[in-house]
Amino acid sequence: MQQWRLTPWATFSTARMLALTFGAMMYVTLMNLVFLSFIGLPLLLAALLIPTYRRQMRRQPLRFGALGVACAVIVVCVLWKIHRDNQLNKAHHPQLEQDVQLDGLPLPAGAKLNLRTLEPLDAQGRPQPHGLRSLYYAKFASPHTINGVEVTELQMYGSGPFSKMLLSRDQVVAGWPCAGGTWVTLDIADEDRLQPSRWRFSACTLVTGADVAGVKWPDSSEVRQYDGRFSIDTIGLASPAVVIQGIALSDLSLDLDEQRQPGRWRGQLAQDLTLGDWHYPRGMRVRQDTPGTLMFSPSKSDCAQNLRTGETLDAGRSIQQRRESGAVLWIKPNAGLGVADW
pLDDT of residue 138: 97
3-state secondary structure of 341: coil
| Residue 76: band (very low, low, confident or very high) from pLDDT cuts 50, 70, 90 | confident
pLDDT of residue 1: 47
3-state secondary structure of 65: helix
pLDDT value at 334 more than 70: yes
Check if the beta carbon of residue 121 is closer than 8 Å to that of residue 127.
yes
pLDDT of residue 249: 93
Q: Which has the higher per-residue pLDDT, 131 or 81?
A: 131
**Tens digits of per-residue pLDDT, 124-163?**
989 988 999 999 999 999 999 999 999 999 999 755 568 9
3-state secondary structure of 47: helix
pLDDT value at 224 more than 70: yes
CB contact set of 133 (below 8 Å; sequence gap of 6+): 102, 194
pLDDT value at 321 more than 80: yes
pLDDT value at 106 more than 50: yes
pLDDT value at 9 more than 80: no
What integer is the mean pLDDT of 72-81?
80
Instruction: Look up the pTM and report it.
Output: 0.77
User: Distance between CA 149 and CA 216 in Å, rounded?
Assistant: 24
| Residue 21: band (very low, low, confident or very high) from pLDDT cuts 50, 70, 90 | confident
> Residue 312 is which amino acid?
T
Q: Residue 202: how many CB atoms within 10 A of its CB? A: 19
User: Distance between CA 280 and CA 298 in Å, rounded?
Assistant: 9
pLDDT of residue 59: 73
Q: What are phi and psi of 131, to 5 degrees?
A: 65, -140
What integer is the mean pLDDT of 26-45?
68
Beta strands in 57-134 (DSSP E): 100-102, 105-107, 112-115
Q: What is the DSSP string of 190-211?
A: GGGTT-GGG-EEEEEEBPTT-E
Burial of 157: CB neighbours in 10 Å, binned 0-12, 13-18, 19+: middle
Q: What are phi and psi of 28, to 5 degrees?
A: -65, -40
pLDDT value at 2 more than 60: no
**C-alpha atoms less than 13 angstroms from C-alpha of 247 in its C-beta half-sphere:** 28
Q: Residue 177: how many CB atoms within 10 A of its CB? A: 18
| Residue 44: band (very low, low, confident or very high) from pLDDT cuts 50, 70, 90 | low
pLDDT of residue 96: 96
pLDDT of residue 60: 74
User: Distance between CA 152 and CA 180 in Å, rounded?
Assistant: 10
**Tens digits of per-residue pLDDT, 269-312?**
999 999 999 999 999 999 999 999 999 999 988 899 999 999 99
pLDDT value at 17 more than 80: no
Check if the beta carbon of residue 137 is closer than 8 Å to that of residue 157.
no
What integer is the mean pLDDT of 179-193?
93
User: Distance between CA 123 and CA 144 in Å, rounded?
Assistant: 35
- CA dist 312 → 278, 280, 300, 334 (Å): 9, 10, 12, 16
User: Distance between CA 22 and CA 18 in Å, rounded?
Assistant: 6
- CA dist 164 → 136, 155, 192, 272 (Å): 10, 5, 14, 40
pLDDT value at 68 more than 80: no
The lowest-confidence range among 68-77, 101-110, 121-130 is 68-77
pLDDT of residue 205: 96
User: Distance between CA 53 and CA 66 in Å, rounded?
Assistant: 16
User: Distance between CA 341 and CA 32 in Å, rounded?
Assistant: 58
Q: Where are the domains of the chain?
A: 8-92, 100-205, 243-333
pLDDT of residue 40: 62
Q: Which has the higher per-residue pLDDT, 43 or 333?
A: 333
pLDDT of residue 7: 60
pLDDT of residue 208: 94
Q: What is the DSSP letter of 90?
A: H
Q: What percent of the chain has pLDDT over 70?
A: 88
